[in-house]
């Protein structure tokens, strides 16, 4: 004797697409370890979005991203002073490397195969650590 159970096929009703409504917001945060983040964004009734966010590290590096999303897709312009970033343009983005110049208190310990280096108050344009 065999029992066969047939479960009904759940049908999903087509979802109505949400109608975009205008909005805007901005936030500013500061983490306990010195990282600062700001963000502003505006959306319109046509579904287009524009915004900017900034991330600043306690070591002096900053990344600023300006973005927009519309019927042509998502596009970003990025300016950064983060180490080892080169200016380039991948799909739908423009990344511009801006070197940090000046003297910054860097407290950095890098270890690789028992290789330790401490860097304090170094003046640099492009910063790379190699062991």
- In angstroms, the first-to-last Cα distance of the chain is 72
Q: Which two tokens stand for residue 25?
A: 């917001």
pLDDT value, residue 11: 67
| H or E element, residue 116 | strand 115-119
Average pLDDT over residues 26-53: 87
**pLDDT tens, residue by residue, 78-122:** 888 877 777 767 666 666 776 655 544 443 333 333 333 333 334
pLDDT of the residue at 35: 84
In tens, the pLDDT along 10-36 reads 666 777 777 778 999 898 887 667 788
pLDDT, one tens digit per residue, over 59-90 is 888 889 999 988 888 888 888 887 777 776 76
């Amino acid at each position: 004797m065999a029992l066969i159970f047939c479960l009904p096929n759940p049908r999903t009703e087509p979802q109505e697409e949400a109608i975009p409504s205008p909005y805007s917001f901005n936030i500013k945060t500061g983490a306990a370890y010195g990282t600062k983040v700001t963000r502003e964004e505006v959306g319109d009734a046509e579904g287009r979005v524009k915004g900017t966010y900034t991330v600043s590290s306690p070591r002096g590096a900053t990344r600023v991203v300006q973005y927009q999303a519309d019927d042509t897709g998502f596009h970003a312009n990025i300016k950064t002073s983060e180490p080892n970033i080169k200016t380039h343009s991948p799909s739908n983005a423009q990344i511009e490397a801006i070197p940090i110049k000046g003297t910054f208190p860097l407290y950095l310990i890098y270890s690789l195969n028992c290789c330790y280096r401490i860097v304090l108050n170094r003046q640099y344009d492009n910063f790379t650590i190699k062991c």
